[in-house]
Structure 1
């Protein structure tokens, strides 16, 4: 008992450090996205996709600051994320959206860095994409469209990427009616640049990832993944080539928004566990669709 307390306290301390680290990166991500929006895209009447794009157009039409629409329109999707993905994701997302809204409001009076529409589109898309990528890597989101796409994906044969692209096709086209058709085309360019930037930061836009875990606490980790993520796991029997010891291996499939939470689960239960995560191009058959967690 006397040896367990320092280890428990150490784990608690590491957990606080990780929470602080996650908050810092989400703050930086929101700052970068606000910079891309208010310093580059919005002053030049170029929009992004998703809820952000709708917010920009509503802000332009009504004269109300962008930050207010970013906060209000994303709230329903945060609740949806809480119900479908989990509490940690919802907290990270609501924090990111609040910080994004504050920075967007703060930067609103700042003049645009450039009046060159092409430079504004490219650099705005880069800032926005890197910011969103940082937030996704740390277990959150800054736009509700992807959360909605994940929910729709559970009930349709379409991938998350296809659903997001379909939704954004209408949103980006609407920019032609609100601003002008050349601005709509620049908006599509900004969206493409942002997606490529996210691709670099997140290391892939694949919706699914395979996970391999080797641990002496495999049952505890597997049960927790099942309970907290709603993902089924498969236990495999393995043998260490060097030691000859029997090992239990966990295999499961997750989506990229769940990666941060799964990593936290494994580190909390067994910090010395072997964890390998790889991108998957396609998943078919089986029971990949997660069950709902009440």
Structure 2
């Protein structure tokens, strides 16, 4: 049986560790506030381990933080190998803080005459909390780890596995919360995922541009001089014409796309341009998380 030895050298500067602690702590508190202020008072369900904890709360009045701690601890003991060391450390920390916050943080209760308003508010607040946890290099553990295990041993796609697990828990809660609140919970979970996505990658989303032109040199020079972005050049040829071309590839912000298109049109109106959404960019000039980035802030030299 193979052994697993975690890499204890996180190579993090003290303020980077402090950043993670602050983000994870605040994220856990915000998430717990979302549960206690919006989910429980409106008798909604939830996905993940929190959803299991909520079911036990409705049935047996067991504090959600207590169940959350026990179930997550069991899952972590089984699946800790699937997390890198930094994520593992802050996942354990997030599990402890979330469990504490679920049992102690009780902001004002929010109950609206419109059930969807309550679901919307709860989904957004919980999504922001989860996003902050992930930005702090923690994780919600629970179903994410189970999905990783399923992916390794069954080949099931991670996103699909997470969706199936979460929906199974939500549907199981329908026997406790009723059909109407189940539909509201599904709507709430959708908004949670969107808010989480906005917090984690929403501000890192970019556009990639692929430019096929007969005048690559002046276009590349113009782009570098105008927006100061690096360009990757590919050698290519047309299948039909067999004519060789240089293809320019660049990742830019959304507002820069129109500007670049106009400049290209002024040089080569026949240029072929494709613009594609880029979910997240990690690297020089876009982020501080890459160890080879000259602008890095989180890693020691």
TM-score by length of 1: 0.63
Runs of at least 5 residues in structure 1 that lack an aligned partner in the other structure: 1-10, 205-239, 242-255, 275-294
Tell me, in whole angstroms, the C-alpha distance in 2 between the residues paired with 1:183 and 1:18. Answer: 41
Residues 72-111 of structure 1 mapped to structure 2, 5 A cutoff:
72-108=70-106, 110-111=107-108
Residues 151-170 of structure 1 mapped to structure 2, 5 A cutoff:
151-170=149-168
Matched, 1:144 2:166: no
Tell me, in whole angstroms, the C-alpha distance in 2 between the residues paired with 1:264 and 1:88. Answer: 17
- Deviation string, structure 1 residues 186-223 (Cα, Å, up to 9, x no partner): 1111111111111111227xxxxxxxxxxxxxxxxxxx
Runs of at least 5 residues in structure 2 that lack an aligned partner in the other structure: 1-9, 203-231, 234-278, 297-301
Aligned to 2:17: 19
Tell me, in whole angstroms, the C-alpha distance in 2 between the residues paired with 1:37 and 1:195. Answer: 15
Cα deviation, residue 37, structure 1: 0.3
- Deviation string, structure 1 residues 152-195 (Cα, Å, up to 9, x no partner): 11223321110111112221111220121111111111111111
Runs of 4+ aligned structure 1 residues displaced above 6 Å come to none
What is the aligned length?
Answer: 206
Q: Is the 8 A contact 2:44 2:181 kept in 1?
A: yes
Aligned to 2:254: none
Q: Is the 8 A contact 2:27 2:131 kept in 1?
A: yes
Aligned to 2:32: 34
Aligned to 1:43: 41
Residues 180-259 of structure 1 mapped to structure 2, 5 A cutoff:
180-203=178-201
Query: Computing the radius of gyration over CA atoms, which structure comes out larger, 1 or 2?
Result: 2
Partner secondary structure for residue 186 of structure 2: helix
Tell me, in whole angstroms, the C-alpha distance in 2 between the residues paired with 1:266 and 1:104. Answer: 34
Q: 1:129 aligns with which of 118, 127, 130?
A: 127
Cα deviation, residue 272, structure 1: 3.0
Matched, 1:272 2:269: no
Q: Is the 8 A contact 2:171 2:182 kept in 1?
A: yes
Tell me, in whole angstroms, the C-alpha distance in 2 between the residues paired with 1:42 and 1:34. Answer: 11
Tell me, in whole angstroms, the C-alpha distance in 2 between the residues paired with 1:102 and 1:175. Answer: 23
